[in-house]
Structures are given as structure tokens and as C-alpha cells.
Chain A
Amino acid sequence: LCSFSSCSSWLPQRVLLRGSHWQSSLLEFRTSLPVRAQPKKKKKVDVKKEQAQKDRMKKKIKKLEKAAPELIPIEDFITPLKYSESNRVRSLPTLSPEESERRVILLKKWCLFKQKQDEAEKKAIKALVESQQEALKELRLESEELYQAAIRRDEGLLPFERDGPSYTPPLPGYDPPEGKCIDITKVYTQ
């Protein structure tokens, strides 16, 4: 009874043609296909067509793959045309001798400051490396095993992520306005 209901929705046309018991019509339907010769021809032609299609696709793929992949051009390094087209030139005002003197002295002070900063950094790096080497030496004297384990590279170190520091701490209880971000980056295709 259940097979009757399922088959009735599947092939209503066959019901009209056959009209007899369900079982016999189903068997005939199943056995009729290999008897006819037409499907065999269709298969051959299909196989040839498919082969030809595949060859064409392979040729196309080879052609596309021959072209080397290109890097996406970086917009930072391309000056927009509007800045190179215009002819307007800025004329700087002449500086008074006191002003130029002040600027030179400021520049020298800045150079000195930067030099001190750089030297302090070099000193700090040197101190760090030295103390690390000393610690490793002491560890080696203590136990060889721990030293070997310490020398190995740390898999948990990478990937390392850190946001830059902010000028001010975040405001407590700040309610930002609702909004959304749309990505409008230009997509380059080869």
C-alpha cells in the first residue's frame, strides 16, 4: 500500500499507459531501458563531447596559468594625478636671522636628544643580552637538561599581537553611536 502511494506521485504518466498491476509495470520500466539501443549511442556521443570539452578547458587553464601572477598595486605609492597636474607653487616667506638661528639651535637640541635616546636603547639591549647570557650560563651549571629546554624555541611566542598604546585610557560607561563599516577597497583581478 505504501509503495502504491509513493509511485503514484513519481510517475503519473506511466499509470495511464500501463493501467495494470504496479509490480509488473515497474519491472517493465526497469527492464525496458537496456533493451533499447538509443541510450548506448547517446552515451558514446556524450563521452566524446565531454572529452572535447575537457580538453578545451585544459587548454584554457594552461593558457591562463602561463601568465605569471601579478602583485596588487599599492595605492600608497601612486601619487594621485591632481597633485602633479596643477602648476601652483608655494612661495615661502623669508625667515629673519633670529628665527633661522632659533631653528638651527632647536634642530641641534633635537639631534642630541635623539642621540641620547638611541644610545640608551643600545645600552638597554646590551644589558638585556648580557644578563640573559649570564642567567643561561648559571642554568647550565645547575642542570644541563633545563638549559637545553630553555635554549629551544618557544612555539607559544608566535603569533604575537599587540595594540599600540593610547593617549588616554578608555572612558568608563561610554556609549558609542551605532553604525557600520563598509569595505570599499578596489578589487583587482588579473
Chain B
Amino acid sequence: DALLGCHRSYRSRPTHGIGKFKYLLPKEAPKKRKEKVQMKEISAGTEYQYGDVNIQMTSYDLCLVEHFAQYVHRLCNRLCIQVNESYAMPTKTNEVLFLEERGSKMQLDAVLTTHQRVIQIRGLSSTFAPILLEVIQSSQPEGVHLLVKQHTEADFKSRLKSRPELEELLAQMS
């Protein structure tokens, strides 16, 4: 009886929420949790559509390859092709040595850095693919090497740091 009888009408009172103050403080940005680098699902594509396709542009010239990557990205946006990711692969540095004409010593010629940009697209229809390739080829600048291929797990793994200790332990286990 007593339980049914009590009606605490404190919410209707004017003193409701009298102790609250958090709404007065400035809003704190939510804590950014470090997003784990996880591989997104690779779609295989249907019979009439290609799955995840990687357009890889490699060159010694950084600015050129950057601008070309930007151009290709904007082109895909304009043609309503879904762009999954647009990232850069780690740069490779090569030391070029050449043999002197008279002498057996190798002389340092240059230190070259190879830059690579990748644009990943999805849902490229089979009829439109050759047109896109034609357009990209026609605007390909000098010295930029173009490679268009399907996206694989190995491509994703090549972006990650190697873990020699883990690999050693796994090899010992098996």
C-alpha cells in the first residue's frame, strides 16, 4: 500500500535539477581513441563490375606524382566513381653508382627517391573501365609510371611495419 501510495512529484517541482552545472561548462571534445589500422574488406566485384582497383603512380619527381594523383582523384570524383582511399606508399631511396671510364672504382652518381601514390576505387563498371584508362593514359606526364591492378591483402600488408620478433616466434612455433 505504502509503495503504491507514494507519488514523488519532484520532477514537476520548480527545484528540479537544481544541482546541475555541467551544461554551463564548455563542451569537451570526445576522447580520440587511436583507431586501429585494420584492413577494410576487399570486394571481389561482380561479373559486370571490377572490385577494388588500385591505380598506382610511381615517379622520381614528387611534385609531379602528387599533382597527377590529385588530378586522377578529381577525375574519379567528377565521373562519380567511388574512391575508397587515396594514400601514399613509403618512399624508396636508391643510391646510383657507376663505374668510371678509366678505373675500377665505383663513383656515386646520385641519390634518387622513388615516390608512389595509390588511389583505390570501387565499382568500376566493365564498359567504362577502358574509357577511364584511355583518359588517364592521355594525360599521363613524363616520367610517371602507371600501374592499374586489383587490390590484394599483400598490397595492404606492404604498407605496415614489419614485425621480425613476431615472425620469428611464429616460425619457431610451427
Contacts and interface: CB of A to CB of B under 8 A. Distances in A.
B98 to A, nearest CB: 3
A68 B39 CA distance: 11
A183 interface: yes
Given A61-B166, A162-B140, A185 B129 contact: no
Given A76-B88, A159-B148, A161-B146, A129 B97 contact: no
A176 to B, nearest CB: 8
Interface string B19-52: 0000000000000001011100000010111100
Nearest to B135: A125
A128 B133 CA distance: 12
B160 A69 contact: yes
B interface, over-half SS? mixed
B18 interface: no
Interface string B50-77: 1001000001001000000000000000
A164 B143 contact: yes
Interface string A43-79: 0000000000010011011001100111111111100
Given A69-B160, A76-B91, A165-B140, A160 B149 contact: yes
B159 A71 contact: yes
Nearest to B158: A72
A173 interface: no
Interface string A133-164: 00010000000000000011110011111111
Contact of B162 (A60, A74, A190): A190
B147 A160 contact: yes
Contact of A189 (B90, B126, B130, B164): B164
Contacts, number: 158
A80 interface: no
Given A69-B161, A153-B49, A185-B90, 12 more contacts: A64-B165, A68-B37, A74-B90, A136-B127, A152-B47, A160-B149, A163-B146, A164-B144, A165-B140, A177-B101, A179-B98, A180-B97
Interface of A: 54, 57-58, 60-61, 64-65, 68-77, 121, 124-125, 128-129, 132, 136, 151-154, 157-167, 177-190
30 contacts: A65-B166, A68-B37, A68-B38, A69-B37, A71-B159, A71-B161, A72-B90, A75-B91, A75-B113, A124-B135, A125-B135, A152-B48, A153-B49, A154-B126, A154-B130, A158-B53, A160-B146, A160-B148, A164-B140, A164-B143, A166-B142, A167-B142, A177-B101, A179-B99, A182-B94, A184-B95, A184-B111, A185-B93, A189-B164, A190-B161
